[in-house]
Amino acid sequence: MITFPLRQLCLGVKHSALALALFTSNLSLADSTAIVNARLYTATTADVSVGSVLFEDGIITEVSDQPLTADHVIDAEGKIVTPGFIGSLNHLGLLEVNAVSESDDSTVEEGDLSFSPVTAFNPESSAIPLARIGGVTRNIVTPGAGTKAFAGVAGNVDLTGDLTLPSSAASAAVVYLWGDQESSRARRLGKIRAALQDRRDNVAKSEADNASEAETAKKATEKEATQNTDNESNSQAGADKQPETKTEDAHSVVESVVERHLDELLAGTLPLLAFCDRPADILQLLALKEEFGLKLIIAGGDGAVAVKEQLAEAQVAVILDALNDLPKSFDNLHASLNNAATLHQAGVTVALAVLSDATHALYQLRFGAGNAIANGLPKDAALAAISQVPAQLFGIQAGSIEKGQSADLVLWENDPFDYTGKASTMWINGEEQSLETRADKLRDRYTQPSKLPPAYVK
């Protein structure tokens, strides 16, 4: 048997305890970061003040008009800090090249509420760094239009580029009511209504059946209690009775997912995100909302200005592209650069998105906000329309500079709503992010001096 002197054992224990204490203290005391002397565009108020924001463990812990101390202090030198912008209505991370079908995971022809394209989200997509340079830190990825009434469900992703699994929680159920779809809008609306009505009826019937079974079981128990039964025979009967086993096939699993999302729609906990432009179709959706108590969000919504009073009364938000100014079809006859301002003035909640090639042009989200400002939308409303409003619509803990929110922040060299604006530093969940794109890497690669002929430079 090997033995050690008592003194060595004591020293070893002492050193181990010291190392453990240092290790645990490092775990419990995470580094904090303060951005001071910044012009804070908080998205919670129209006021812009010079102040500080402190974050730790990925969460904003304090916002103050006074300098704050932290493990790391960054002097913004009076520059603008905004919350990270939130994109939506696109296939970012699901589509790499439009013309290459194998790089497109956004759409299935026979889609339904069991289809969640976020499970195919690729955080290494080259389009993600491009979105980051536009100040976008999070995104709602949506399924493309298929042939079924429901295209699928949207999902929320951050744009860190980290190889981690995105949340599987659905952010919205998605439907398309555009004129270029294969089937009539009337048929699609009918299918949506039928699916909701069938589920509501089935739930009501199931609840009635359960109540009836419970009452029957109660009466049987009371009757059995009044009778003098043979315990031995009862025990034998119980032993002979085999428990039922239930197996679920793939079809039943899909059905259970669909039913769960229908229940969430009917409960108002899952929004119905409806791509729709014509005023008449928007009125049909408002009637559907009233009938089933839905949380409705209109996407696209060029014709929303024609029914703005009804939208405001129903408290239905509209996500639109502020740069849509010309009719692209008979659905878009109301397209105009001042639509965002008109809806805002009418009391409609407005969010902004990029609808034209949004997967690769999401960095232009701030340009749409800038054009909306130029056409009458107040600056604070434009900021909220690409940060706080989408966060609230889709249940994201981000989109504003306030205590308790995710530390998604962007430090700008100058006005983010101007074409000359440039993001200098970005944090997502409190972690600093790269603002280098594939285009930057290619530029650096092919502008390096070399003694070799150009054809040999890689």
Nearest residue to 177 (alpha-carbon basis) of 68, 284, 47, 39 = 284
Structure token digits, residue 375: 């056409």
Cα(174)–Cα(224) distance, integer angstroms: 52
Q: How far apart are CA 248 and CA 275, in angstroms?
A: 34
Q: Which helix (H) or strand (E) holds 457?
A: none
Q: Where are the beta strands (DSSP E) in 324-428?
A: 350-352, 409-412, 423-428
Whether 370 has a pLDDT exceeding 60, the answer reads yes
Residue 205 parent element (H or E): helix 185-226
pLDDT one-digit tens code per residue, 105-138: 999 888 899 999 999 999 999 999 999 999 999 9
Residues 63, 389: Cα–Cα separation, whole Å: 20
What Å distances lie between residue 457 and 234, 443, 447, CA to CA? 87, 13, 10
Residue 8, pLDDT > 70, answer no
- Measured distance CA(206)–CA(91) in Å, rounded: 38
For the stretch 182-222, pLDDT in tens is 678 999 999 999 999 999 999 999 887 676 676 667 666 76
User: CA 400, 406, 407, 412: dihedral to nearest 10 degrees?
Assistant: -40
| pLDDT tier for residue 229 given thresholds of 50, 70 and 90 | low
Q: Which two tokens stand for residue 262?
A: 């229908």
Give the Cα separation of 262 and 145 in Å (integer). Answer: 19
DSSP classification of residue 397: S
pTM here? 0.85
Per the listing, tokens 């603008």 go with 80
Cα dihedral value 203, 206, 207, 210, nearest 10: -160
User: Residue 43: pLDDT above 60?
Assistant: yes
Q: Which amino acid is at 261?
A: H
* d(C-alpha 396, C-alpha 81), whole Å: 20
Q: Do the Cβ atoms of 30 and 57 come closer than 8 Å?
A: yes
Distance CA 405, CA 136 (A): 16
